Structure 1
Amino acid sequence: MTPPTSRPVVGIALSGRIREDYLGAADLERLGRLAEVRVEEFEVPSGWGPVEADEDSRRRLAGFAAGCDLLVVCHGSPPVDEDVLAAAPRLRFVGELEGDRFAGRIDVEAAREHDVVAVDTTHSSSWPVAEWALALALLGLRQHGLFRRVMADEELRKDRDEVPPVRELSGRPVGMIGFGHIGWRLRELLRPFGGPVLVHDPFAPRELADALDVDFAPLERVMGCDVVVCLVPATPSTEGMIGADELERLQPGAVFVNVSRGAVVDTDALVRRAARGDAWFGLDVHDPEPVPVGAPLRHLPNVLLSPHIAGVTEEARPRFFTVMVDEIERFLTGREPRAQLTDAVMAGRGRPG
């Protein structure tokens, strides 16, 4: 991982819409002080998995990358594969702004073989996701759904004795399923509440326990916390990992929050558990998505639904590029980027390194 010795060239490949929304003027100016910046627009359709591009777009990206020392890609760009890397002998750094959690746009193994460090700043949306996870937990403890009904029903408003007491988060144990960037930020937000934090994540370094003051525990122990927050990515090994047995471990009065992916939780088991009415559910992600019009979850008073918007904020969009410029600056000044796609990171995402 050796940075170039002369003034480097940073290429940025992305769609016109992403260029307008993500590349802030201040960060472009900051990057321009570090390197020559070239931007090339592509319009390859992409989502959150492997990217398929036509041959013309692939050739054009290879030609563009050939003149670069560092390459940044995002939605709209073709994949950075063996052909692109082979055509760009100067390349030493390739970064994905958003969307490469599962190496859909960067061939990480090929990058390693070409001595190219691969970086992914998709975690830049972890700030708002952690905030919304905390908000859903607080709304659950305060029984937001019930009081929404009370406010709409005059008879319920008259009889306050029928309204059960609400609870505080302070001092309560919180469990996290998955402990990556979102979990780390959520842990910081939870500090003022003073409760213990239990974590289930077989891939997280155990040194984080002391560093962030958490305890690692089996999934069944974490499911017994007063508040349980699901943060794991959707991989073949996590699909349906929260099923009937796991949901049965929720205590009466517990709050279950999911801001990761809907497929991690068995939807039928979730509906059955929520229908019992003795626990509260805050769900930002769903399976299927969007939630069908007639789905039972839409009508349960102890369920709060949001349409997969935890990470979609005005501040999050430009932050992807801000964090990427930070990473480029680290690389060009002889430091290691923090968001590298290492073997450990890739293993946690269900992909080989």
Structure 2
Amino acid sequence: MRAEYIGVGDLARLGDFASFDWLESDLESEWHRPPPYDAHAEAALAEFALGLDALIVCHGSPRITGSLLSMTPRLRLVGELEGDRLARRIDVAACSARGVVAVDTTQGSSYPVSEWALALMMIGLRDAGALYRRIINHEDVPSGDTRPDLPFYRRGELEGKTVSMLGCGHIGRRLIEYLRPFKTPILVHDPYIPIETADAIGFELVGWEAAFALADVVVCLLPLTPATRHRIGRAEFDLIRPDCVFVNVSRGAVVDSDALIERCRKGDISVCLDVFDPDTIPIDSEIRDLPNVFISPHIAGNTRASRTRFFELMVDEIDRLRKGYEPRFQLSDRTLANRAGDPPPPRG
């Protein structure tokens, strides 16, 4: 695990301004739930962290709880390398109550995910998945076809298309940067974003239904929470207009798979998925056979560079704290509300 996450250069960079040590921990760990409570593991971690200013945790670590923090009064920062951006391994409220900064740098994978989202948008607009299916099935596919009834000819270029994002965290904001050269109007539905962020970054905040009805491309970036499971269903797919492209690079279970398949059967939209529900698509699932669906097997965030970037960004955060700066990737009340599926704090 250490070799996967820790770049030698970043470790040396940390050593330039801090001393550090390691503690091995192998608790059962899954991205979608907190690790199980283990009193022995918590006591061992508390003893290890007693004289530390910062503590970085990842896969296998016990949860950072109020009890543990009470035993480590010197701690100023707790960082998470593998929290799926929702910090299930850190009690953020307990950190806040004790003045400990909680930081999550797993958004380091937002770089490749946003790149792949951009690629899927283009694949969908050009109907590339359907064309590739025909080619590998040895069908006659004319070269340079310009018949006006062809989906790729009608949908055309990304330039100037209206792009709607469902959720706009780190992936969405990076995707907005990638979209700037294409001059795409950008709509965002995300009740957890402060209203001033729209002006600062350059997008329009819209309601839930408008996010589907007004776009040429809809990109799903919703985290999976109790409030978002199967949040996108028949009503939402009925709002999507013909020739729209629907992209999902977040979690498969935020979409009702039956409703998605039903909409895809009409053949008038293009769907590009990096995720599906269930996450490993059953061999006999109809989604595999629909010609207007392009699928990748949940690979958007999986690059060697993204794994070491988690620690690279964490070293940056510790350095900022050392210099008296505010860390950039702090977990907040909005993070907690989003994770729980609770209503967001008031905008303003």
Residue 83 of structure 1: aligned partner: 67
Q: 1:92 to 1:272 in 2, by over 3 A?
A: same
Residue 5 of structure 1: aligned partner: none
Residue pair 1:257, 1:282 contacting (<8 A) in 2 also: yes
Alignment of structure 1 residues 25-64 onto 2, 5 Å: 25-48=8-31, 49-64=33-48
Residue pair 1:280, 1:302 contacting (<8 A) in 2 also: yes
> Runs of 5+ in structure 1 lacking a partner?
1-16
2:331 is aligned with what amino acid? L
**Paired residue secondary structure (1:72):** strand
Residue 24 of structure 1: aligned partner: 7
Alignment of structure 1 residues 168-207 onto 2, 5 Å: 168-207=157-196
Q: 1:223 to 1:302 in 2, by over 3 A?
A: same
Once the two structures are superposed, residues 30-50 of structure 1 have per-residue CA deviations (whole angstroms, 9 ceiling, x without a partner) of: 111121111111111211121
Work out the CA distance in 2 between the residues paired with 1:54 and 1:228.
43
Q: 1:205 to 1:299 in 2, by over 3 A?
A: same
Alignment of structure 1 residues 100-249 onto 2, 5 Å: 101-157=85-141, 164-166=151-153, 167-224=156-213, 225-249=215-239
**Paired residue secondary structure (1:43):** coil
Residue pair 1:44, 1:53 contacting (<8 A) in 2 also: no
Work out the CA distance in 1 between the residues paired with 2:133 and 2:330.
47
Work out the CA distance in 1 between the residues paired with 2:4 and 2:138.
46
1:273 is aligned with what amino acid? R
Residue pair 2:80, 2:87 contacting (<8 A) in 1 also: no
Percent of aligned positions with the same letter in both sequences? Answer: 50
Paired residue for 1:308, among 298, 320, 345? 298
Once the two structures are superposed, residues 78-108 of structure 1 have per-residue CA deviations (whole angstroms, 9 ceiling, x without a partner) of: 1111222121111111110122533311111
Work out the CA distance in 2 between the residues paired with 1:155 and 1:324.
51
Residue 53 of structure 2: aligned partner: 69
Once the two structures are superposed, residues 222-268 of structure 1 have per-residue CA deviations (whole angstroms, 9 ceiling, x without a partner) of: 11201000001111111111110111111111100011111111111
Residue pair 2:130, 2:293 contacting (<8 A) in 1 also: no
Q: 1:212 to 1:158 in 2, by over 3 A?
A: closer
Deviates more, 1:303-312 or 1:146-155: 146-155
Alpha-carbon distance, 1:345 to partner: 2.4
Residue pair 1:101, 1:349 contacting (<8 A) in 2 also: no
Residue pair 1:100, 1:106 contacting (<8 A) in 2 also: no
Q: 1:244 to 1:286 in 2, by over 3 A?
A: same
1:25 is aligned with what amino acid? V
4+ residue segments displaced more than 6 Å: none
Work out the CA distance in 2 between the residues paired with 1:179 and 1:164.
29
Alpha-carbon distance, 1:181 to partner: 0.6
Q: 1:281 to 1:67 in 2, by over 3 A?
A: same
- Once superposed, what is the RMSD of the aligned Cα atoms? 1.7
Deviates more, 1:143-152 or 1:200-209: 143-152
Aligned residues: 336
Q: 1:181 to 1:165 in 2, by over 3 A?
A: closer
Q: 1:307 to 1:100 in 2, by over 3 A?
A: closer
Residue pair 2:246, 2:272 contacting (<8 A) in 1 also: yes
